Structure 1
């Protein structure tokens, strides 16, 4: 019998080459371990054992010895799976065939050859030795995972979801076993995460922090009551939960405490926070690290803007990179884009972490912000995680019931509320009066802002914010915030704004909705351009946040901009129309649970059922069936953010300029990209091209990096009050007000 190898080294005697059967067995065992939370260990083991079956060919073994040319080593395992195990073999075949290139469509080719075509292709002869060297279940002896529950009308979606989860187990196991082999050969320390404190240790540390919480105000006493009640619910069996607490009610730490208690009670592995905006991810991760003190390393941030600690040693950086690839940490804080797009992804790198969502407590913060065009696929994924993957999902929001079945068809059912008497909480935490003040010109709005020495005005687009700021800029304490300011600039501006507010000095802030993204700030008076009721609730959370002012002195004024240039896009206009109707019906208490429920019912009715799955993704899965799962189509169409944004680096200080200089003369690394993130502004593609055509921006070492690093050359286009501004300034009113 010949010896077959999976991986090779430079040694011609093959003494340290990896035996193929050892690799297949090890990957099968690891994949089975990863699938334990959804009882698919046997399916995952078979996928692992068969994934590199095509290496049992003379052609592949010659390639390991130096022969040139590619050899398809993935399709044989997929073929054998289908031949031996029928429908369940086909389920495994998608992942086996795609464990390097990614999941392909079942029938229609895209960037990747369709699975059906792969299975029909001619392949090198498979050597029969494999039958003696690897152990497989008898033919036809694969079935659904134990306790797998099929939901009426959603069976094909559930199978496609299971297929992707097994694919995740396979690719992570394959990566890890291959990496461990080369680590041994090259005498490298393993990149596996260091021993982490268990969840009980983290809970103990959280308890120490919470013991110092002072219940010295009515708001803090209510926060304490919410915390105690939520923690008392931790013994409930895993599944779907809601935490309906008004803005400022202490949801962040209450949800963390529940998640730790619940995970410990039910043997869950980790807590995953899913947050709509990157800025809140960073803020929440920072809060958790502060709370956990010496255990801060357990918190993993995963989003496109994450910047690691440049002082970390190389070994620590490698372990962090692995954790970001497969979410192997006790606490993950990530974006909704990262979480949901991964659940519908096709590429191995994006899917690798998915199996670690199973057996977790997932906190879905600000659940109502999920895009309506993808709402039904998102709900199907949430429901499936809770139904078959031992995952508890907490819908954590001040504006329930966004995703429940009482607000929409095919919504989530059996959602258990964790908060004590939400209606009473909303009444007790009512700190703001809300009224609609009608249509206002910019001049009228500026005059209202003038009347309060501390006021926040939130508008729907950046051009309006800049024009309005230009009007009020002569006033004491006039400030402006925009996403066109690089993050480090925004952070400094917010620190100054908070300082002014604490000191009781004039502060009149004009901002886009970025201020609503979990920014802890407290104004006595807030103005909000018409928007959805959930946005209005967030704006209200920036007014009298700590409840230190009388209700009658704290007001949120909603207005409709007179200028047609400031009309929001069509989709935002629908949100505003639904909110306007609810404000008429519930003028006495527009943020009550009853008002919120009316708002979402009206919004979903306006959109229509089909518009809640705008690309018909669920129907395509159902229609394709097992033989035609459209994995590549799903990955292409499931995009939570469609607009293409391009990064521009602002060389604002010596640190940024030093990194730019290094990039211009040497090879860049991910470290440089992360170091420049605090100086990067995202601009629309059209604006990016216009700036480049005039020479205002220029790529750094384009031959080497392409458009990865583009810096602003024309410093006149970056203003300390506006941020980056490239538009024709004629839209700004030429006359400033004389106060």
Structure 2
């Protein structure tokens, strides 16, 4: 008898047999792969993944022997022999089902597949052939559409999807075996209210909205028009609605209608900024009433599962986060896109649950330019071959459609996207709330005068140093506020609450901020000043002006300016966006936020970049050049980074909650929950600034014997100012802040 997993029982009476494990994983993986028509593929990798345990050395290991045994590569060999055309693709998955997907040939942290296939392995007992029966052939997944010039990209994508099915199935069967052995029952996973029940709850909420103003009537029209299109075939969609058009709940209504109509499994919201993830997740929970808590899975680095009511709920939430087994998932762009190019088992587990889903990308224009082509290729592949509907949702729609007109086509882009909004150009005119103009170049004194000329005004600049200097020049005037990521998130929320209260009271309110305030922050100023930036950023800034539409557009001024001081010039990665904006303003200066101007801006930006700079690391070429036996899975994971993180987190003991969480570290065993509690109290500091703080003893590690430098606390609290945030200034370096990843 051969076994897959052992217990402490010496007679092996309750050990899991290998035959049982392989067959169960085969069934579970096949069920998952059925979402995209690849049942036989899922079954094959499930049956083969642990075939290497049919060896005497591995069975000795289960009995307590310390010897190391490679139990993954044997199944990879069998896959190559059994399925000559696609077996090599399966070999990556089987060999990597514990350590992760390796490169085919190139050296990485993981041993390349080529080297593993050449290594000597223990002999398999032929009994494996009697205990499991492999599928005879592996046809292409049902409805799979190959594209010649991205053949190996498609192969790598399919491999990750099947890998997701395998590692999720393997983990769940193993988890279930041990949970039943220890507690008598398996862990609770997934479930959640069915989509039709959620739609009913949302309908009840939407029925309470009244068409009692022009804006609300327009929101109702947008909602009705979108829902009427839910029967359109799954595929690629755009949703182009100006700020204030009610697209958050309208897109949820469309997504639920569309998913129910086409038998899809879930709705996934992908949002660029963590703060908006939290905001939208709260909106969805509220809109879904009593079902909201159970339906909405919020998955990002800052989410604190400890807010749940009981330990059972916390544990289930964490399990559901592992594979996105929930009706509605709200996550970040980083989590979503980096998972699509991941090689680690933990990041790939969720991928099969993206198939057969409605995926809504909020603020779609924020996809980073250096990774734009691979990102769009992944979205298109999901729509083409994985039964997903992709919705690009934004007020400033990026020009990502591939057309037959080479002058107006994004090569490798989305084919034939359907617009869900009713006449976006008319919507823009009807929801127009501001007038936008360029007021020329301003030196620091002139910019200060502009701020003081209006009692309620928001000024957004491109770097922290400029924001700080400008704020200090008006700090003694009534209603002066400052917002920057040098403040921890809890501090920023407090300042924003004070700003809103000041605005509501009609008191002087002059805010100087970096671009962070453009990320869905709900404030309403009569005037906004914006340093030159991308036209999409200017549109976001305009969303903070006359947000509620209470003033005529001609009285709601968005003024763009260039900075005379070279010290405040935008960093290089922002300068190209600003230059494209200036060029578009030459032709569309009378209406710079019109849909025509936005389209011209993105086309110009993409043309300036060129195809190569829209795929900075040449990831698409890397895959095609590697071909089947040289797919660089690990390299892709390492190079596809939406945030190049050259910063270190410093924890600010800002209030009693932060100080209490820091004290918990002294006796903590697992720190996941504490880390989430501390995340809103962190400030990200550039490496040089971090080193400067460390050099003067301003920061120190908490419990370094246990955690090393994982938790670095600000111990010199004099360096944290209630109006300016953390000061890490050092004459040897400069640090700019931008909203570009």
TM-score of Structure 1 vs Structure 2, range by shorter chain: over 0.9
C-alpha distance in structure 2 between counterparts of 1:659 and 1:279, whole Å: 21
C-alpha distance in structure 2 between counterparts of 1:85 and 1:234, whole Å: 40
Could you say which residue in structure 2 is the equivalent of 1:106? 104
C-alpha distance in structure 1 between counterparts of 2:670 and 2:709, whole Å: 13
Could you say which residue in structure 2 is the equivalent of 1:309? 306
Do structure 1's residue 204 and structure 2's residue 200 form an aligned pair? Answer: yes
Kept in 2, the 8 Å contact 1:643–1:684? The answer is no
- Return the offset for 1:307: 1.4
C-alpha distance in structure 1 between counterparts of 2:324 and 2:513, whole Å: 35
Could you say which residue in structure 2 is the equivalent of 1:151? 147
Could you say which residue in structure 2 is the equivalent of 1:266? 262
Kindly report structure 1 stretches of 4+ aligned residues shifted beyond 4 Å: 728-732
C-alpha distance in structure 2 between counterparts of 1:87 and 1:730, whole Å: 58
Deviations 1:229-262 (A, max 9, x none): 1111111000000000112211111111110110
Deviations 1:313-335 (A, max 9, x none): 22211111111110001111111
- Using a 3 Å threshold, how does the CA distance of structure 1 residues 258 and 621 change in structure 2: closer, same or farther? same
Q: What secondary structure sits across from 2:590 in the alignment?
A: coil
Kept in 2, the 8 Å contact 1:219–1:546? The answer is no
Alignment of 1:668-679 (within 5 A): 668-679=670-681
Kept in 2, the 8 Å contact 1:242–1:395? The answer is yes
Alignment of 1:578-727 (within 5 A): 578-727=580-729
- Using a 3 Å threshold, how does the CA distance of structure 1 residues 730 and 184 change in structure 2: closer, same or farther? closer
Kept in 2, the 8 Å contact 1:310–1:671? The answer is no
C-alpha distance in structure 2 between counterparts of 1:512 and 1:30, whole Å: 49
Could you say which residue in structure 2 is the equivalent of 1:360? 357
Could you say which residue in structure 2 is the equivalent of 1:572? 574
C-alpha distance in structure 1 between counterparts of 2:484 and 2:500, whole Å: 16
Could you say which residue in structure 1 is the equivalent of 2:435? 433
C-alpha distance in structure 2 between counterparts of 1:686 and 1:667, whole Å: 32
- Return the offset for 1:310: 4.1
Could you say which residue in structure 2 is the equivalent of 1:412? 414
Kept in 2, the 8 Å contact 1:300–1:324? The answer is yes
Alignment of 1:108-187 (within 5 A): 108-138=106-136, 141-187=137-183
Could you say which residue in structure 2 is the equivalent of 1:251? 247
Alignment of 1:476-495 (within 5 A): 476-495=478-497
Do structure 1's residue 377 and structure 2's residue 379 form an aligned pair? Answer: no
- Return the offset for 1:152: 3.0
Could you say which residue in structure 2 is the equivalent of 1:735? none
Deviations 1:179-204 (A, max 9, x none): 00000100164333264110111111
Kept in 2, the 8 Å contact 1:270–1:361? The answer is yes
- Return the offset for 1:401: 3.5
Could you say which residue in structure 2 is the equivalent of 1:42? 40
- Return the offset for 1:728: 4.8
Q: What secondary structure sits across from 1:474 in the alignment?
A: coil
Kept in 2, the 8 Å contact 1:358–1:391? The answer is yes
C-alpha distance in structure 1 between counterparts of 2:522 and 2:187, whole Å: 37
Alignment gaps of 5+ in structure 2 = 403-407, 735-741
Kept in 2, the 8 Å contact 1:364–1:393? The answer is yes
Alignment of 1:53-132 (within 5 A): 53-132=51-130
Do structure 1's residue 386 and structure 2's residue 383 form an aligned pair? Answer: yes
C-alpha distance in structure 1 between counterparts of 2:656 and 2:429, whole Å: 51
- Return the offset for 1:264: 0.6
Could you say which residue in structure 2 is the equivalent of 1:537? 539
Instruction: Say which of 323, 327, 331 aligns to 1:330.
Output: 327
C-alpha distance in structure 2 between counterparts of 1:720 and 1:304, whole Å: 26
Kept in 1, the 8 Å contact 2:362–2:393? The answer is yes
Kept in 2, the 8 Å contact 1:6–1:20? The answer is yes
- Return the offset for 1:143: 2.4
- Return the offset for 1:694: 1.0
- Using a 3 Å threshold, how does the CA distance of structure 1 residues 551 and 404 change in structure 2: closer, same or farther? same
C-alpha distance in structure 1 between counterparts of 2:216 and 2:184, whole Å: 51
Deviations 1:515-540 (A, max 9, x none): 11011111110000000000011011
C-alpha distance in structure 2 between counterparts of 1:730 and 1:108, whole Å: 39
C-alpha distance in structure 2 between counterparts of 1:182 and 1:313, whole Å: 23
Do structure 1's residue 506 and structure 2's residue 508 form an aligned pair? Answer: yes
Deviations 1:88-125 (A, max 9, x none): 11111111000000001111121111111111110001
Instruction: Say which of 408, 423, 440 aligns to 1:421.
Output: 423
Tell me the TM-score normalised to structure 1 length. 0.97
Alignment gaps of 5+ in structure 1 = 733-739
C-alpha distance in structure 1 between counterparts of 2:72 and 2:365, whole Å: 41
- Return the offset for 1:666: 4.1
Q: What secondary structure sits across from 2:614 in the alignment?
A: helix
Farther off after superposition, 672-681 or 534-543? 672-681
C-alpha distance in structure 1 between counterparts of 2:559 and 2:54, whole Å: 72
Q: What secondary structure sits across from 2:183 in the alignment?
A: coil
Do structure 1's residue 299 and structure 2's residue 300 form an aligned pair? Answer: no
Q: What secondary structure sits across from 2:666 in the alignment?
A: helix
Kept in 2, the 8 Å contact 1:648–1:712? The answer is yes
Could you say which residue in structure 2 is the equivalent of 1:737? none
- Return the offset for 1:135: 1.2
The CA RMSD over aligned residues, in Å, is 1.4
- Using a 3 Å threshold, how does the CA distance of structure 1 residues 730 and 695 change in structure 2: closer, same or farther? closer
Could you say which residue in structure 2 is the equivalent of 1:193? 189
Instruction: Say which of 21, 24, 29 aligns to 2:22.
Output: 24
- Return the offset for 1:294: 1.3
C-alpha distance in structure 2 between counterparts of 1:565 and 1:66, whole Å: 65
C-alpha distance in structure 1 between counterparts of 2:584 and 2:128, whole Å: 67
Kept in 1, the 8 Å contact 2:190–2:320? The answer is no
Do structure 1's residue 346 and structure 2's residue 343 form an aligned pair? Answer: yes
- Using a 3 Å threshold, how does the CA distance of structure 1 residues 410 and 666 change in structure 2: closer, same or farther? closer
C-alpha distance in structure 2 between counterparts of 1:668 and 1:18, whole Å: 29
Q: What secondary structure sits across from 2:396 in the alignment?
A: coil
C-alpha distance in structure 2 between counterparts of 1:188 and 1:491, whole Å: 46
Q: What secondary structure sits across from 1:609 in the alignment?
A: helix
Kept in 1, the 8 Å contact 2:272–2:366? The answer is yes
- Return the offset for 1:410: 2.2
Kept in 2, the 8 Å contact 1:273–1:364? The answer is yes
- Return the offset for 1:731: 12
C-alpha distance in structure 1 between counterparts of 2:377 and 2:113, whole Å: 25
- Using a 3 Å threshold, how does the CA distance of structure 1 residues 23 and 95 change in structure 2: closer, same or farther? same
C-alpha distance in structure 1 between counterparts of 2:632 and 2:730, whole Å: 45
Instruction: Say which of 31, 51, 69 aligns to 1:33.
Output: 31
Could you say which residue in structure 1 is the equivalent of 2:739? none
- Using a 3 Å threshold, how does the CA distance of structure 1 residues 275 and 10 change in structure 2: closer, same or farther? same
- Return the offset for 1:629: 0.4
